[in-house]
Amino acid sequence: MKTLLILGGGTAGTMVANKLAKKLDADHWRITVVDKDETHYYQPGFIYVPFGVYQPEDTMRPKRRVINKRVDIIFSGIEVIEPEAGRVRLENGQNMAYDILVIATGCEIRPDQIQGLTNAGWKENIFDFYTLEGSAALNTFMEKFEGGRVVLNVAEMPIKCPVAPLEFVFLADWYFTRRGLRDKVDITYATPLPGAFTKPVASQTLGHMLKDRGIDLAPDFVVSEVDGNKQVMKSWDGREIPYDLLVTIPTNMGVRAIERSGMGDDLNFIPTDPKTLQSKTYENIWVLGDATNLPTSKAGSVAHFEHEVVVENILRQVKGLSPKPAFDGHANCFIETGFNKGLMIDFNYEVEPLEGTYPIPLVGPFSLLKETQINHLGKLSFRWIYWNILMPGHHLPVTNEMSMVGKRKFVPSLAQN
């Protein structure tokens, strides 16, 4: 009996486990998932918790209910991966040998990487929303907030779900408008990027949306220190931004077990072949989701497109075949923009977000780079799709590779104006 070991039972790891449970011969392959947490979190829902749209319990289910019964689950942290020995040592003392290893350990926020962030004011008027604990605490604070300076800061890239910070400020604009406080609240979006987003055309569109809503954009702001006593955030170039509420997206890093294993880069992300999703160092190790160092979004849609490629390539490896270079960096995201509207973007390694329709060319129902109510409803309906289609490993009729059919390219001269 051979062992397929999957490290991480989040979005990426669960999809791989459930799909392979249906495809790998049960008489010859044992599938085991290792994860330290017994609860599976619907992380796209965290953005709604601070505003009271979702309650914390709307974002969680027991992992045992989400993962196929054929799959063994071990609830433990990871001490170290020993790829040369084909073994993983767990924090519970177990040693797990494997024939094929899938690393889907994700990433985590590291507020300790920013000077002063976890000192005065931490979890009092400084919060994250990338954890359920942080988003719930932020909800409690915002319900009592009566006005002042709200600052959203992205510390550095890459981050999990790069559109989420924009969603937060858009929803904050809607939230304070609904409460009749918008004229008493200044909202600032401070980012290390030169614009609102990583892709130029999308950055231009989103930048205009920020301006139209009276949200200040502070570009090229690389945070150096947070002074919680003075309620000031400082950048390396000497700028300072005062705040009454600081919403932080701290440095995102791969989990510490990757660092202990010597398998990652400076941020603990694992060097991964961008097209096959095979480890660049070990042929029997596959990496996907937020654990990779790939130049694409760390988002649920990317994990979905990646897992199809990983599953196919593992099945090919079992048969003694070479992997297919089938992943093109495809990502798409709904962007909640408030007031029951949303935006959608679709892009890959080579092509930035363009106007058009998705997933059916010329039909949609979703419009790309345009605010619509249908996009908002698509964002909300994704929670049902996540639990009932994606996690069980059912087929979703969208292509892994990005399609240019139905999309309209921008004229460069217009995109620069």
DSSP secondary structure of 24-87: S-TTTEEEEEEES-SEEE-GGGGGGGGGTSS-GGGGEEEHHHHS-TTSEEEE--EEEEETTTTE
Instruction: Give the residue with greater pLDDT, 365 vs 411.
Output: 365
Q: Which two tokens stand for residue 215?
A: 């949200």
User: What mean pLDDT is predicted for residues 310-315?
Assistant: 98
Q: How far apart are CA 247 and CA 168, in angstroms?
A: 9
Q: What pLDDT, on a 0 to 100 scale, did the predictor assign at position 192?
A: 97
How sure is the predictor about 417, in pLDDT bands with cuts at 50, 70 and 90? very low
Region for residue 121 given its phi and psi (left: phi exceeds 0; alpha: psi -120 to 50; beta: otherwise)? left
Task: Please state, for a pLDDT cut of 70, what percent of the chain lies above it.
Answer: 98
Residue 414 scores a pLDDT above 90? no
Q: Which domains does the chain have, with CATH numbers?
A: 2-106+255-318 (3.50.50.60), 112-251 (3.50.50.60), 331-415 (no CATH)
Residues 221, 237: Cα–Cα separation, whole Å: 8
Kindly give the residue spans of alpha helices, DSSP state H, lying in 248-388: 256-261, 300-318, 373-385
Q: Partners of 295 in the beta sheet? A: none
Q: How many residues does the chain have?
A: 417
10 Å CB burial of residue 110 (0-12, 13-18, 19+) is middle
Element (H, E) at 3: strand 2-7
Residue 364: pLDDT band (50, 70, 90) is confident
Report the pLDDT value the prediction gives residue 413, as an integer from 0 to 100. Answer: 38
DSSP helix/strand/coil, 20 = helix
Mean pLDDT value of segment 191-210: 91
pLDDT tens string 242-279:
999 999 999 999 999 999 999 999 999 999 999 999 99
Given pLDDT bands bounded at 50, 70 and 90, which one contains residue 415?
A: very low
At residue 408, the pLDDT reads 76
Structure tokens at 23: 């495809």
What is the average pLDDT score of the chain?
95
pTM across the whole model: 0.95
In the prediction, which pLDDT does 409 show?
66
Question: 7-64: per-residue pLDDT in tens?
Answer: 999 999 999 999 999 999 999 999 999 999 999 999 999 999 999 999 999 999 999 9
CB 5 within 8 A of CB 86: no
Question: What are the tokens at 220?
Answer: 């090229």
Task: Report d(CA 103, CA 185) in Å as an integer.
Answer: 43
**Per-residue model confidence (pLDDT) at position 410:** 53
Read off the pLDDT band of 416 (50, 70, 90): very low
